[in-house]
A and B are shown apart, each in its own frame.
Chain A
Amino acid sequence: ETGVTQTPRHLVMGMTNKKSLKCEQHLGHNAMYWYKQSAKKPLELMFVYNFKEQTENNSVPSRFSPECPNSSHLFLHLHTLQPEDSALYLCASSRVAGRNNEQFFGPGTRLTVL
Chain B
Amino acid sequence: KQEVTQIPAALSVPEGENLVLNCSFTDSAIYNLQWFRQDPGKGLTSLLLIQSSQREQTSGRLNASLDKSSGRSTLYIAASQPGDSATYLCAVNEETSGSRLTFGEGTQLTVNP
Which residues of A are at the interface with B, using a C-beta cutoff of 8 A? Answer: 2, 4, 6, 31, 33, 40-43, 45, 48, 50, 55-56, 58, 88, 90, 92, 94, 97-108, 110
Give 7 CB contacts A-B under 8 Å. Answer: A4-B43, A33-B99, A48-B100, A55-B99, A56-B100, A88-B41, A106-B43
Stretch at the interface among B12-20, B57-65, B73-81, B89-97: B89-97
User: Considering the chains assembled together, what is the distance between the CA atoms of A107 and B43 in angstroms?
Assistant: 4
Residues of B within 8 A of A2 (CB): 43, 45
Query: What is the size, in residues, of chain B's interface with A at 8 Å between Cβ atoms?
Result: 28
| CB < 8 Å neighbour of B32 from A4, A42, A99, A107 | A99
Q: Given contacts A42-B4, A100-B31, is CB(A48)–CB(B43) below 8 Å?
A: no
Within 8 A of A (CB), among B30-56: 31-32, 34, 36, 41-46, 49, 51
Q: Does B103 contact A (CB under 8 A)?
A: yes
Minimum-distance CB pairs A-B, first 10: A105-B44, A105-B43, A42-B103, A43-B103, A107-B43, A97-B99, A99-B31, A108-B43, A106-B43, A42-B105
Which residues of B are at the interface with A, using a C-beta cutoff of 8 A? Answer: 4, 31-32, 34, 36, 41-46, 49, 51, 89, 91, 93-95, 97-106
Closest Cβ neighbor of A43 among chain B residues: B103
Are the C-beta atoms of A107 and B99 separated by less than 8 Å? no
New contact pairs (17) apart from A42-B102, A43-B101, A55-B98, CB-CB < 8 Å: A40-B105, A42-B4, A43-B91, A43-B103, A56-B98, A90-B44, A92-B44, A99-B32, A99-B97, A100-B31, A100-B32, A102-B49, A103-B46, A104-B46, A105-B44, A106-B43, A108-B43
Residues of A within 8 A of B31 (CB): 99-100
Give the distance to chain B from A92, nearest Cβ to Cβ, in Å.
8
Are the C-beta atoms of A108 and B103 separated by less than 8 Å? no
